[in-house]
Amino acid sequence: MMSTNEEMHTKLRTTIYGHFVAAGNAPTKAELVKIIGIPRRDIEIALHEMAQKHILVQREGEDEILMAIPFSAVPTSFKVESEGVTYWANCMWDAVGIPAALNQDSSIKTTCPDCGDSIELNIEAGKLQGDQGVVHFLLPPKQWWDDIVFT
């Protein structure tokens, strides 16, 4: 049994990110219960607390994980492939954050929201390769958490 909330949050965070890295998706609450071995209600409370601290984002009405920045639990228009695993990012900022977090060469595929053209970028040895373009953020970063799913 975990002795403190902080220890449980650390174990949960490590497990969630480890699952994303290995599988490209988020673990379910049922999987977290099985992996960590604590009651489901404790997992639910801890996930809610972590969401309140902006450590992760839960799916509205389901309390399952939607985002653990930079990873998305659902397919998006920002596909990142690295060492045979497909990851989904929440935005371009997160799309380049995934290869940085993994410290692996990766390819990023998306489309231009303005014209619809395909965009492919590669990260090789930590350096951005590929198409040139402009990344536009609709809101300044300090406002992203006002509505992180929209942003």
Q: What is the DSSP string of 60-92?
A: TTT-SEEEETTEESS--SEEEEETTEEEEESSH
Whether residue 87 sits in one domain with residue 64: no
Whether residue 117 sits in one domain with residue 83: yes
**CATH code assigned at 40:** 1.10.10.10
Higher pLDDT, 139 or 25: 25
- Counted domains in the chain: 2
**Helix H or strand E encompassing 23:** helix 5-23
129: containing domain: 72-146
Residue 151 is predicted with a pLDDT of: 67
Cβ partners under 8 Å of residue 97, min gap 6: 69, 70, 89
Task: Choose one of 43, 68, 93: the last residue of a domain.
Answer: 68
Task: Read off the pLDDT of residues 92-104 as tens digits, 9 standing for 90 and up.
Answer: 989 999 999 999 9
Whether residue 88 sits in one domain with residue 56: no
Whether residue 37 sits in one domain with residue 87: no
CA dihedral for 56, 60, 63, 66, sign (positive or negative): negative
Would you say residue 77 lies in a domain?
yes
% of the chain beyond a pLDDT of 90: 70
Task: Read off the pLDDT of residues 36-81 as tens digits, 9 standing for 90 and up.
Answer: 999 999 999 999 999 999 999 999 887 799 999 999 999 999 999 9
Would you say residue 151 lies in a domain?
no
